[in-house]
Amino acid sequence: MPGRDTVVIAASAGGLEALRELFHHLPRDLPAALLVVLHVPPTGGTVLPKILGRAGRLPVHQAVDGEPVQHGMVYVAPPGQHMLLGADVIKLSQGPRHNGVRPAADPLFMSAAIARGERMIAVVLSGTLDDGAAGCAAIESRGGVVIVQDPQESAYEGMPRAAMAAAEHPHVLRLAEIAAFITSESHSLVPREQLPALPRDSALEQQLAFQLEPVPPTALVSVPRSGVTCPECGNPLRQEGSSPPVRFECPAGHLWSPESLVTAQAAGIERVLLSATQRLEERARLNTVLAEHAEARGHLTAAGGFRATARAARTAAHRIRPLLESAGMGPPPGPMT
């Protein structure tokens, strides 16, 4: 009858300070292993173990593929790699991004749900959007417990509120209370006979298989279409589930929540509009130069054509610019003549 001896923690924007505060309150002799995912860029985040190690009394290090999971240790997902939990070891993967990020919380949470079921505690701290929400639902469905940082305390409440919506019985606590809850639950035995036998979750296992195995070319040819394409690779997406947490998955394994998908689509539209505006501005400037050269040589008809093209390009840029500003990007760089 083990206690809840495995804790998976997810954080994003505003999450570093939350993690430091949480680790400050955890005891040195905690009989549990902690696995942490913080959204960081692929080239950053290598100092996170040192920061968290200085904040508390538990030893912290960057996770290594294949290493055993031990009580009283903190494992941090490396930049650019998903961290997953096997039966007794950590697995690292450069598999498809989830919700547009890698490392992501959902692969860790889902693998932990399969590996350790009722021994799990999932913790969601400050962050935007909703990474971790689907993973919280998976952990809860297999007997684990979900803890959410109180949105009133979170620097960013998107991830906490998404986890609260996905889980049926989340514990909404402040950071000091989260530390006390983890400590108490890690010492409390979980009688297996009080829990129903958990069947294999083939859908969950299939999602995780994408993280650990290359995608075969035959998997990319025919999938039921949802009318939406993947912002990451352009493949068609299919909808997984009709009730929260709804997810969209492409044949390459990229997994999106609706909120993350909308955000990624908006970013893609903004990039296209910005690029189009800049190219039109450049076209206008170039045709103005050509017109001046033609006029200097006395080729007035050609000069008129160049100036007409420049005017048309500026007009098109003026029409696109309000779309960028309404999307919150502000005006693109460069003068508007």
Look at residue 242 and tell me if it is in a domain.
yes
Helix, strand, coil tally for the chain in percent (to 5): 45, 15, 40
- Helix or strand run (H / E) with residue 122: strand 120-124
Q: Which residues of 173-185 are buried (b: 16+ CB within 10 A; e: fewer)?
A: bebebbbebbbeb
Look at residue 217 and tell me if it is in a domain.
no
Mean pLDDT for 213-235 is 62
Residue 113 contacts residue 135 (beta carbons within 8 Å): yes
Residue 56 contacts residue 23 (beta carbons within 8 Å): yes
**Candidates 5, 12, 130, 260; catalytic one:** 12
CATH number at residue 28: 3.40.50.180
- Helix or strand run (H / E) with residue 142: none
Count of domains forming the chain: 3
- State pLDDT tens for residues 129-164: 999 999 999 999 999 999 999 999 999 999 999 999
Is 247 found in the same domain as 272? no
**Candidates 98, 126, 131, 257; catalytic one:** 131
pTM above 0.95, yes or no: no
Domain boundary among 169, 190, 211: 190
Residues paired with 89 in a beta bridge: 68
Higher pLDDT, 167 or 41: 167
Give the 3-state secondary structure of residue 200.
Answer: coil
Is 322 found in the same domain as 239? no
Q: How confident is the model at residue 213 (pLDDT cuts 50, 70, 90)?
A: low
Is 127 found in the same domain as 15? yes
Look at residue 285 and tell me if it is in a domain.
yes
pLDDT exceeds 60 at position 210: yes
Is 112 found in the same domain as 74? yes
Is 286 found in the same domain as 229? no
The question of whether 29 is a catalytic residue gets the answer: no
Q: Which residues of 65-80 are buried (b: 16+ CB within 10 A; e: fewer)?
A: eeeebeebbbbbbbbb
Is 274 found in the same domain as 238? no
Look at residue 334 and tell me if it is in a domain.
no
Is 293 found in the same domain as 250? no
CA–CA dist 204, 241 (Å, integer): 12
pLDDT exceeds 90 at position 183: yes
Look at residue 337 and tell me if it is in a domain.
no
Look at residue 243 and tell me if it is in a domain.
yes
185: left (phi over 0), alpha (psi -120 to 50) or beta: alpha
Query: How remote is the C-alpha of 25 from its chain's centroid?
Result: 27
Look at residue 316 and tell me if it is in a domain.
yes
pLDDT exceeds 90 at position 78: yes
Is 49 found in the same domain as 119? yes
Is 275 found in the same domain as 246? no
Higher pLDDT, 179 or 223: 179
- State pLDDT tens for residues 86-95: 888 999 998 8
pLDDT exceeds 70 at position 316: yes
CA–CA dist 188, 62 (Å, integer): 28
Share of the chain above pLDDT 70, in %: 82
Give the 3-state secondary structure of residue 108.
Answer: helix
Is 149 found in the same domain as 70? yes
Owning domain of residue 305? 266-326
The question of whether 12 is a catalytic residue gets the answer: yes
* Cα first-last separation, the chain: 74
Look at residue 199 and tell me if it is in a domain.
no
Cis peptide leading into residue 160 (ω within 30°) = no
pLDDT exceeds 60 at position 13: yes
Is 88 found in the same domain as 31? yes
Mean pLDDT for 57-82 is 96
Is 275 found in the same domain as 128? no
CA–CA dist 158, 224 (Å, integer): 30
